[in-house]
Amino acid sequence: MKVVDSIKSSINEVKDGSLFFNSDFSQFDDQYVNKVLADLVRQKALVRLARGIYMKPEQTRFGLVFPSVDTIVNAIARRDNADVLPCGEAVLNMLGFSTQVPMNYVYVTSGTARKITVGGRKITLKRVAPKNFAVKGAYTRLIVQAMKSIGQEHFGKEDAAHLLQLLRHHPEPDTIVQDLTVMPQWIKQEFVKLLKMIEYEK
């Protein structure tokens, strides 16, 4: 099978909105792959989201549908075999600590630092030390990032009340004991206080 046919076949086999990277075709010559992908963009078989990142178009009557920032960032993380977590306004909005929709999305990563713009949305990946990914609970690690973004000096009663609701709705008993041992001390104290309240309610 020709290279171009192989790439087209891979694209045809997946659903609309799927993401592709140059590295998905690493078995072929890089320069030729770049040329084929550029041709497919001109043919509207692919949409170029950013350098080296492509999407199989998903069209609706409202126009082209772009994937969420989280989908793009997690696809990059899978490609790079890296950990990634939202921080700042992105995670505060995601968890409901803030209603402010971020204009710039910032994520911490164990992979390569980079900045990309997709559909007018600016995405920044900041490389940080591995210890930032020591918390393993799926929701707990997001909550910890949100609390770091708020900061100890600004973490108030409304934040604590919202945190209590998150802990009630997203208990993670299999990981919480270990996660408490690697949290910043002030965050651990808030967690322990609220977890005791939840236990008392039972």
161 and 121 belong to one structural domain: no
Give the mean pLDDT of the chain.
89
Among candidate residues 31, 64, 97, the one where a domain is terminated = 64
143 and 192 belong to one structural domain: yes
- What pLDDT is stored for residue 149 in this prediction? 93
141 and 195 belong to one structural domain: yes
Q: Report the percentage of the chain scoring pLDDT > 90.
A: 48
45 and 87 belong to one structural domain: no
197 and 139 belong to one structural domain: yes
- What pLDDT is stored for residue 22 in this prediction? 83
- What CATH number should be reported for the domain holding residue 7? 1.10.10
- What pLDDT is stored for residue 164 in this prediction? 94
| Domain interval for residue 94 | 69-131
pLDDT exceeds cutoff 60 at 1: no
57 and 11 belong to one structural domain: yes
pTM of the model: 0.81
User: At residue 131, what is the residue type?
Assistant: K
Q: How far apart are CA 153 and CA 67, in angstroms?
A: 35
Q: How many CB atoms lie within 10 A of CB 91?
A: 27
125 and 138 belong to one structural domain: no
Among candidate residues 131, 154, 183, the one where a domain is terminated = 131
Q: Output the six-digit token pair for 62.
A: 């409202």
- What pLDDT is stored for residue 195 in this prediction? 92
pLDDT in tens, 31-62: 888 888 898 889 888 888 888 888 888 877 77
82 and 33 belong to one structural domain: no
Among candidate residues 28, 43, 64, the one where a domain is terminated = 64
Mean pLDDT of 158-180: 93
Q: How many domains are there within the chain? A: 3
74 and 90 belong to one structural domain: yes
84 and 38 belong to one structural domain: no
138 and 126 belong to one structural domain: no
pLDDT exceeds cutoff 70 at 182: yes
pLDDT in tens, 107-166: 999 998 989 887 778 899 999 998 899 999 999 999 999 999 999 999 999 999 999 999
Please tell me which residue, 61 or 78, carries the higher pLDDT value: 78
- What pLDDT is stored for residue 57 in this prediction? 86
